[in-house]
Amino acid sequence: MSAQALETPVRSALGGLLLAMADDEFVLGYWDSEWTGIAPVLEEDVAFASLAQDEIGHAQALYQLLADLEGGDPDELAYGRPPEGYRHARLLDHPRTDWAFSVARRFLYDTADAARLDALAASAYEPLAEVVAKMRREETYHLLHMHAWVERLATGGEEPRARLAAALERLWPDALCVLGGIDGDDLLAQAGVLAEPMAAVRRRWLAGLAPELARLDLPGPPDAHTGPCRGPGRTDDFRWLWEQFTMVRRSDPEAVW
């Protein structure tokens, strides 16, 4: 199905979904890129940097899809909005914090994203299905790597366990937002853009994670998230990040970089 074939409400919801996904990937890619040069072990530094770069690559592809649908240009979309204009999930408002936190956040995000991508793999909107197919292949490595780290921290002794558990407790409510906050997701499901509404995707994600969390005796999710999932009301941490990533562009708005 092409963009022209979409009815206006569906098209509008699709735009919202693409922006949300692109912003999720973009913001996560930025936070995780902070570990470059200071990760716990040199080999892991290189690995984690690849994960962050992959997210930026995915964001780029998703912003391009959005630009194809609604006009504009990926860099303008990525860098040209005020902080309140970003639609990433609450989970990505948190800063990098420490290694356990970054591992926990990535674990929650990558597994939720995998469920989201599963629900888009056969999307009736072909351009998105194509991008999703590529993303899923790259995400294979992300999932392997994050499961490896969660396993190691959970079974590595009291301190790593405690740090991981504390991080998960803090992050779980906001993690529910990755598969939330998409206006018109029921329309998207009806139109075949999404395989099912987000609530169902979220249930599948949580059901998929439950055995591993039980086996490792790690905290599980609360019943719901309170408050808006994707803004407004961005954290100071995100505002700081926004200042960083828009700094050069704002210094010379007419310039090409």
Give contact residues for other proteins (rule: CB under 8 A): 29-30, 33-34, 36-47, 49-50, 52-53, 56-57, 59-60, 63, 74-75, 78-79, 98-99, 141, 144-145, 148, 151-153, 155-157, 159-160, 163, 241, 244-245, 247-249, 251-252, 254-257
Length of the chain: 257
Could you give the C-alpha distances from 52 to 94, 127, 152, in angstroms and in order? 15, 24, 21
Nearer to other proteins, 94 or 202 (CB): 94
CB 212, min distance to other proteins, A: 14
How far apart are CB 27 and other proteins at their closest, in Å?
A: 12
Which CB sits closer to other proteins, 44 or 118?
Answer: 44
Which CB, 35 or 205, lies closer to other proteins? 35
**CB closer to other proteins, 10 vs 62:** 62
Minimum CB distance to other proteins, residue 92 (Å):
15
Q: How far is the CB of 141 from other proteins (least distance, A)?
A: 7
Q: How many CB atoms lie within 10 A of CB 251?
A: 8
Q: Closest CB to other proteins among 78 and 188?
A: 78
Task: Provide, rounded to whole angstroms, the least separation between the CB of residue 57 and other proteins.
Answer: 7
- Give the nearer residue to other proteins in terms of CB position, either 13 or 167: 167
Residue type at 236?
D
Q: How far is the CB of 122 from other proteins (least distance, A)?
A: 27
